[in-house]
Structure 1
Amino acid sequence: MEQLKFKVTLLSDVIISESPATQGRHRGLDFIPGNNFLGIAASRLYKDIGENTHTYLLFHNGHVRFGDANPGYKGIRGLRTPSCFFKAKYTDKLPWKDGDKTRLVHHRITDFKPYLDAQLKQCRSGFMVFEDKTAYEISLSRNYAIKSAYDSEKRRAEDEKLFGYESLTKGSVLYFCVELDDDAMGCKDEMINALTGLRHVGRSRSAQFGLVKIEPFNYQDVSACSSEKGQVVVYADSRLCFFDAEGQPTMCPTAEQLGVKGGQIDWSKSQIRTFQYAPWNYQRQAFDDERCGIENGSVFVIKGTTDATENIVGAYQNEGFGKVLYNPSFLMTGENGKSLFTFEQAMEENGNHKADEDWTQHFSNTTLLSYLKNKKTLQKEEKTTYDLVDDFVKAHKERFSAITPSQWGTIRGIAMSADQEEKIIGFINTFIHKGVAKDYWEERGRGKKLIDFLEKNRTIVSVRDLVINLSSEMAKEKNR
């Protein structure tokens, strides 16, 4: 078996829905499920080579598994916050200092009395990156947008068709892997080529959402697992789906279904969360079978055995379901359930700037992007012009109080009518030193101050725009 590791950079906001429903409150996931990458690869390869034994090997018999994309930190893929982690609501009530940097592992607490006043609460959101003895807490930022359906006949928003979407923000970076069994190793290059590049994921891909860049990246995984005495702790690295003996979905798997031989699940020590949804199949335009399962981050404690054999369990493994870790080192504790790790908030990494660079490099030759870049430059220059004029008026309006609005109007007309921008300053200089108001301009160095101001900023902004805006503002000041 071989793992192909990839990095996903969001070049726009991405909508990954918790449910395919179009009514009611919309909630988005904070990771990208593996079935999105399966769909990307399938759409590419089916288009190139059609339906045959080759595509069946890749997508329909479990030899290739597409993992979930989780956020990371420092080049390390994050893990869903374990459900067995608890923190104190009142950290000053804990029997040690730095309570805000401490977490308790529920199934390892032997005496809850010292923690009663602190009021423990479960950690239920976000991801964590474990490095050495520090656990960095990660939370992806999300946006919320409200959209309306468009009525093409009436050319306006359609009545009673308002939608709200929660999305992952542009610039976020996530990591995922694709696992190839030995039978599928010959398809390695094809899989890399099918996934790598600019792709679209999630909902509203035809609008402004869903653009991502996927590239190979050798990120780091969680550290090695530890050993437990007389028990196995199972951590769900991805979502899990199981079926009972009658073929019905179950949220109460057996120890054997979790890849552990012998033993019994201690439900009083286990911490699990569940999900339920029916995926929408675009090809068939219908819902697939409902998925009922256990959320990633859930923790099972299995007593009476130490024999753990598999790390991929349950159903829908090719879509990223079923990955588990046995006795992970980040669940080890010291006295009375206190975690051995120090918990800190991860510093924000500069992903947005990198996403802008990737987008610009790919579309650098398109007419639309050239227009948008030019528009952005003009807006920036316009703001600079307004700031320069505002500063000049505030600093020198008293000095130029003797200059009449008609004089400023003439200067404005010179700037607007000049055929070449580089000649404007010369024309203005001639006007103020040879015109009928020559004495007023030379008094208190008004003319020299104006010319010096224009010369100083001619390389920063458009002289024409600078003179037009300055003349208008100075004339207004005179009339006030």
Structure 2
Amino acid sequence: MKQYIVTITAKEPLVLRTQSGSETRSDVVDYISGAKLLGLLAKECYKDLKADDQDTLYQLFHSGNVRYGNAYPVNENTLGMPVPFSLYKEKNDTEKAKLTFSPVTHKKKQQKAGYITISDGNVSLFTLPMGERLKSARDPDLEKRRSKDESMYLYSYLERGIVFQSTITVNEPTGSIREAILKLQGQHYIGTSKGEFGRIEIKISEPTVNPILVLEKNFQLKVYAVSDLIFLNEVGNYTTKLTAKMFGIENAQLDVKASHIRFKQFNTYNSKRRTPDADRLAVAKGSILVFKSSNEGQEIEMTAHTIKDGVGVHKTEGFGQILVNPSFLNSETIVESDYKVVDLSSTVVTEFGKLLAKKHENVVKDHDTYDETLDFINKHKTVFKNTSQSQWGTIRHYILQAIASETPKATLKALLDSKSTTGYLRQKANANWNVKQVALIEELLEQENCMELLLKITVELPKTLQT
């Protein structure tokens, strides 16, 4: 069994949805799910593997041989873990509230958000820095210079500079699997509103052997949910009725009073079939489940294999990760700390990225670009009146691809080049683009701010053509 360490740096603010594969609006989350890593890898190599190496394709995505773990934040070089729900903050009006695990006092409030790090037996609690941005569509009328009516909405996002870490575990490694996994390295886009948010950089370590785990045996076992846990009942339906056998424990029962359990629901949507799947019911990450022996004087045990392999279903997507009897749950020293983001000021590539990261420090320049966008639309909207949203969507896709490269402007020119045999704007392959339209787009490519300007045009121009 091999394990790859995946380090993810947020180069731009991230807007990540609560629901895995959901079409509904939901709050931002503070981690990158294993399902997103699986999806990024599938985007990179699924099509090629389907044509050339179906066995590797099956092993990577369908057999359960490869498991993509959730990526949690790293604070000061220490990996954070979801806050255990046995952690409480005692209510105190006169001084800073004290954090304790399962306090006796009734004046307590469960800590539901954040992550913990463990150093020398001490536990630190931190939360990730987040911001909010009010967005709106611009009114195309140059005379008004204001937001479009009924088109304003609020985005909550994670700040840029946050570092996450995950593991990809391979039960039966091969050279072709290793080669495919390493294709994740580089820059990608995740989350919502990828035109303005979502750029990340991924680095992957060389594979290492999984750490050795030992059998856990005692009269009582505390199971800490490192990730969400999903189980099926005897007829194959998702269930929240938990039993010891689901965790591979014999002759034991769940002690509900001693446990700290929360549940959540995933409203999944299958974009391939364009229909919702069955809602997934899960034990929320951070839950503490306490199992006690059913027979007096008889110890219960959980095998090292169960701990290493995880429990429940959908383990490929990051579900099912657990720890048993972690020592930090008995810690008496818990402090609150701040999260320190990585300074990325020397690695900012685009003015757009600077704008988002500094919370509109360059708002004047952004307005100027919008003015140029609206001016271009008003002058040339009749020229582009027969273009479709998919045409502009394709150009937007190429812009995002170019931004992620080392030479964005040159890459974009090559991708769109009308004189190239592979360029998107070449006449024979794209009859929907006429000569005048191509000339106007290529004129834009010569401007200094062509990336930002053309990106805004691909978003705003299709809106003016909707009648």
**What is the match of residue 306 of structure 1?**
300
Contact 2:230 / 2:282 at 8 angstroms: preserved in 1?
Answer: yes
Mapped pair 1:103 → 2:93: no
Residue number in structure 2 paired with 1:290: 279
**Superposed counterparts of 1:35-50, under 5 Å:** 35-50=35-50
- SS where residue 50 of structure 1 aligns? helix
Distance in 2, Cα, partners of 1:69 & 1:3: 14
* Residue 172 of structure 1, CA deviation: 0.8
3-state SS of the aligned residue for 2:281?
strand
For residues 93 and 216 of structure 2, the distance between their equivalents in structure 1, rounded to whole angstroms, comes to 30
2:111 corresponds to:
123
Q: CA deviation at 1:287?
A: 3.0
Deviation at 1:224, TM superposition (A): 8.3
| 3-state secondary structure, aligned to 1:47 | helix
Cα 1:219–1:157 change in 2 (3 A) is farther
Please tell me the residue identity of whatever aligns with 2:62. H
Match of 2:78 in 1: 76
- Report the CA distance shift for 1:204/1:369 in structure 2 as closer, same or farther (over 3 A): closer
Secondary structure at 1:256 match in 2: helix
Contact 1:67–1:177, Cα closer than 8 Å, also in 2: yes
| Equivalent position of 1:7 in the other structure | 7
What is the aligned partner in structure 2 of residue 200 from structure 1? 189
| Aligned mates of 2:202, 2:123 — CA distance in 1 | 27
Q: Work out whether residues 71 and 138 of structure 1, in 8 Å CA contact, stay in contact via their aligned partners in 2.
A: no
Q: Is the 8 A contact 2:266 2:281 kept in 1?
A: yes
- Pair 288,195 (structure 1): closer, same or farther in 2 beyond 3 Å: farther
Mapping of residues 158-169 of structure 1, within 5 Å: 160-169=150-159
The separation in 1 between residues aligned to 2:211 and 2:147, in whole angstroms, is: 49
Correspondence 1:346 to 2:337? yes
Contact 1:228 1:327 in 2 (8 A): no
**In the superposition, relative to structure 1, how do residues 286 and 202 fare at CA in structure 2: closer, same or farther (>3 Å)?**
farther
3-state SS, counterpart of residue 233 of structure 1: strand
TM-score when normalising by structure 1? 0.64
Deviates more, 1:39-48 or 1:209-218: 209-218
CA apart distance, 1:48:
3.2
| Alignment deviations for residues 397-423 of structure 1 (CA, whole Å, 9 cap, x no partner) | xxxxxxxxxxxxxxxxxxxxxxxxxxx
| Equivalent residues of 2:130, 2:156 under 8 A apart | yes
Deviations 1:223-267 (A, max 9, x none): 989967401110000001111112111112211112323300111
Retained in 1: the 8 A contact 2:239–2:281?
A: yes
Equivalents in 2 of 1:101, 1:289: separation in Å? 41
Contact 2:196 2:352 in 1 (8 A): no
Q: Compared with structure 1, are the counterparts of its residues 151 and 222 closer, same or farther at alpha carbon in structure 2 (3 Å cutoff)?
A: farther
Compared with structure 1, are the counterparts of its residues 223 and 270 closer, same or farther at alpha carbon in structure 2 (3 Å cutoff)? farther
Q: Distance in 2 between matches of 1:204 and 1:214?
A: 19
2:130 matched to 1:142?
yes
Structure 1 residue aligned with 2:253: 264
Q: Work out the CA distance in 1 between the residues paired with 2:23 and 2:5.
A: 33
Question: What residue is the counterpart of 1:18 in the other structure?
Answer: 18
What's the counterpart of residue 33 of structure 1? 33
How far apart are the structure 1 equivalents of 2:323 and 2:254? 16
Please point out which of 197, 203, 212 is paired with 2:200: 212
Q: What letter corresponds to residue 313 of structure 1 in structure 2?
A: V
Is the CA contact (8 Å cut-off) linking 2:163 and 2:341 kept in structure 1? no
Q: What percentage of aligned pairs have identical amino acids?
A: 28
Name the CA distance, whole Å, in 2 between partners of 1:50 and 1:146: 42
Measured against aligned partners, the alpha-carbon deviations of 1:279-319 in whole angstroms (never above 9, x if no partner) come to 33444444333221111000100000431121201111110
| Alpha-carbon distance between aligned partners in 2 of 1:72 and 1:322, rounded to the nearest angstrom | 21
CA RMSD of aligned residues (A): 3.7
CA distance in 2, matches of 1:167, 1:314: 31
Q: Does 1:319 align with 2:310?
A: no
Q: Deviation of residue 174 (structure 1)?
A: 1.0
TM-score of the aligned structures, taking structure 2 as reference length: 0.65
* Structure having the higher Rg: 1
The answer to whether the 8 A contact 1:236-1:325 is kept is yes
Q: 1:132 aligns with which of 99, 120, 125?
A: 120
Residue 134 of structure 1: CA displacement? Answer: 1.5
- Tell me, yes or no, if the aligned pair for 1:150 and 1:158 is still in contact at 8 Å: yes
- Equivalent residues in 2 for 1:278-427 (5 A)? 278-304=267-293, 305-309=299-303, 310-311=306-307, 312-332=310-330, 339-340=331-332, 342-351=333-342, 353-354=343-344, 356-360=345-349
Q: Is the Cα–Cα contact under 8 Å of residues 132 and 156 in structure 2 kept in the other structure? A: yes
Deviation at 1:187, TM superposition (A): 3.7
Whether 1:179 and 2:169 are equivalent positions in the alignment is: yes
Structure 1 Cα separation of the partners of residues 227 and 77 of structure 2: 19
**What is the DSSP-based 3-state SS (H/G/I as helix, E as strand, rest coil) of the residue aligned with 2:46?**
helix
Aligned residue for 1:276, secondary structure, equals strand
Aligned CA distance change for structure 1 residues 142 and 218 (closer, same or farther; 3 Å): farther
Aligned equivalent of 2:462: none
- Stretches of structure 1 lacking an aligned partner (at least 5 in a row): 93-97, 107-111, 333-338, 381-480
**1:9 counterpart letter in structure 2:** T
Structure 1 residue 149 displacement after superposition? 5.2
Taking the aligned partners of 2:269 and 2:74, their CA distance within structure 1 comes to 28
What amino acid maps onto 1:38 in structure 2? L
Return closer, same or farther for 1:11/1:283 CA change in 2, 3 Å cut-off.
Answer: farther
CA distance in 2, matches of 1:125, 1:158: 36
**Residue 67 of structure 2: aligned partner:** 65
Shift of 1:66: 0.6
Return 5+ residue gaps in structure 2 as ranges.
294-298, 366-467
Give 1 or 2: higher helix fraction.
Answer: 1
Shift of 1:169: 1.2
In the alignment of these two chains, the number of paired residues is 345
CA contact (8 A) 1:225 1:329 kept: no
Partners of 1:21 and 1:189 in 2: CA distance = 30
